[in-house]
Amino acid sequence: MCGIVALIGSREAAPQLLEGLRQLEYRGYDSAGIATLDGEGLHCLKAEGKLVNLTARYEQHGAPGQCGIGHTRWATHGKPEERNAHPHLDGSGRLAVVQNGIIENHRSLREDLQAAGVRFLSDTDTEVIPHLIARRLAELQASGRSADPALLLEAVQQVLPLLHGAYALAVVWADVPGALVVARRQAPLLIGLGEGEFLCASDTPALAGFTRTILPLEDGEVALLTPLGIELYDAAGDRVQRTPTLLSGTEHVADKRSFRHFMLKEIHEQPETAALWVARHLPQGSGGPLVALPLDDDVYAGVERIQILACGTSRHAAQVGAYLLEQLAGIPTSVFYASEFRYAPPPLVPNTLTIGVTQSGETADTLAALAMEQERRRAVAD
Ligand code: GLU
C-alpha cells in the first residue's frame, strides 16, 4: 500500500502535499516524493526513507506552485531507492505521474517504448505511464490540438486502456499548470472538495484536516480537476455527475497515539478490535446462526469447499479462519498465498467459495487473484 496525494488550488501546494503524505504514513512506505508546477515548469523532489528526508529536501530547495502531486512508495518493481521513488517523469521532464499499484504489462510496454528511443531512468513499472502519456500528447499536438486541460485528460484517457493491472494515479503537465488528472482501477482514490481547491488522496486521513466534503472515485473513473471544478468520467469516457458525500467524526484520523509506530499501535488494539468484531458478527443469545455475516444465505447454499486467498498477516488470520470453518462448518477449506495463486491456481472445481482476506482492503496480489478467479469462472460459465 502506498499513498497518493494531489492538490490543485490557489495556495502553495507543497506544504499541503507533505502534510497529506504524513497523514498517510500509517500505510507504510520506503521512499517519498512530490512534484509541483508553476510558470517556470515542474519541480520534482524525492528522497529515500522517511518523510523527514523529503521535508529536508523541500526546505533546502523549495517546490513552488499551486498544483502538485505526492507519493509514498511501497516498492513492487525496483529497489526502494531514490531513483525508483515517484513521481516519474517523461523524457522532457515536463510531465509527472505518481501511481499506486502494479502495471502487469509494464515489460512489453517498456520494450515498445525503448524500441522507439525512450530512455528509462528507473526500474519501476510506473515509469512507462509518463512516457505513454507524453507520446500521446505529442501525437495529439501534431494533429493541431493545443495544450489545454482537455488535451491532458484525453491523452490520459487514451493511455489507460493500455495499462493492465490495478492502479490509482495522478498526472500533472507543465504545459497546463492549472490542471490535474487522476484515475483509479482497483485501488482507492478520493477527491476532497475545498474552497476553490481540491485535494485528492488514497485515504480519508489525508483529507480530514482539509475538508469534510469528499467524492470517492468509482472503479475505472477518471477526473479532470482545475481550480474551477471537477469533470468526472467513467471508464467508457462518458461524463458522470455524482453528489459529494460528507466525512463523519474523527474515525478518519490515523493517529499513532503514544505508540512508536502504527504496527505497534495495531498490535495493542487487537483485544478492542476483536471485541468489536465479535459484538458485530456473533449474534447474542442462542437459536440463531453461530456467525452472522452480512451475506445472503444463497451465497452459502451448496458450498462444498472453500478457498481463502491472502498474503502476510492476513494469511495467518486466514489459517485460523480455515481451522474454524473446517471444525465448525465442516467444509474443507484451503488457504493460498494470493501472490502464488495468481500464477498457479488449482484446477477449477464446482461449488467452491473463494474468500479474499486483506487487512488494508487494498493488497494488490489479493485483489488481482480474486479478479483472476472471477474471470476464470466467468470463462467456464460462458
Ligand atoms: N509499482 C509501483 C512501484 O513499484 C508503485 C508501488 C506503490 O504502490 O507504491 O514503484
Q: Which of 109, 101, 48, 111 is nearest to 76 (CA)?
A: 101
Handedness of CA 319, 325, 330, 335 (dihedral sign): negative
Q: Sheet with 352-357: list strands edge to edge.
A: 333-337, 305-310, 352-357
Dihedral angle at the C-alpha atoms of 190, 195, 197, 203, nearest 10 degrees?
-20
| Mutation choice for ligand 1 from 48, 125, 167, 360, CB with most ligand atoms inside 8 A | 125
Distance in Å, CA 161 to ligand 1 centroid: 19
For cell 444463497, the residue is 298
Ligand 1 atom at minimum distance from 85 CA:
10
CB 265 within 8 A of CB 259: yes
| Whole-prediction pTM | 0.81
d(CA 251, CA 212): 12
d(Cα 303, Cα 298) in Å, to the nearest integer? 9
Nearest to 225 by CA among 158, 176, 166, 186: 176
Walk along the chain (382 residues) and give the pLDDT tens digit of each residue: 689 999 999 999 999 999 999 999 988 899 999 999 998 999 999 999 999 999 999 999 999 999 999 999 999 999 999 999 999 999 999 999 999 998 989 999 999 999 999 999 999 999 999 999 999 999 999 999 999 999 999 999 999 999 998 899 999 999 999 999 999 998 899 999 998 899 999 999 999 889 999 999 999 999 999 988 999 999 999 999 999 999 876 545 566 667 777 788 888 888 888 888 877 777 666 666 666 666 777 777 889 999 999 999 999 999 999 999 999 888 999 999 999 998 999 999 999 999 999 988 888 889 889 989 988 998 988 8
* Cell 480455515 sits on residue: 322
Nearest partner of 70 among 84, 54, 53, 57, judged by Cα: 54
Angular region, 48: left φ>0, alpha ψ -120 to 50, beta rest: beta
Q: Strands of 95-103's sheet, edge to edge? A: 88-89, 95-103, 165-173, 180-185, 222-226, 229-233, 239-240
User: Ligand 1 pocket: which of 73, 89, 105 to mutate (most atoms <8 Å of CB)?
Assistant: 73
Q: List the beta bridge partners of residue 356.
A: 309
Query: Ligand 1 pocket: which of 30, 74, 83 to mutate (most atoms <8 Å of CB)?
Result: 74
Give the Å distance between the CA of 274 and the centre of ligand 1: 31
Residues with CB under 6 A from ligand 1: 2, 73-78, 84, 99-102, 124-126
End-to-end CA distance of the chain: 34
Torsion of CA 263, 266, 270, 273, to 10 degrees: -150
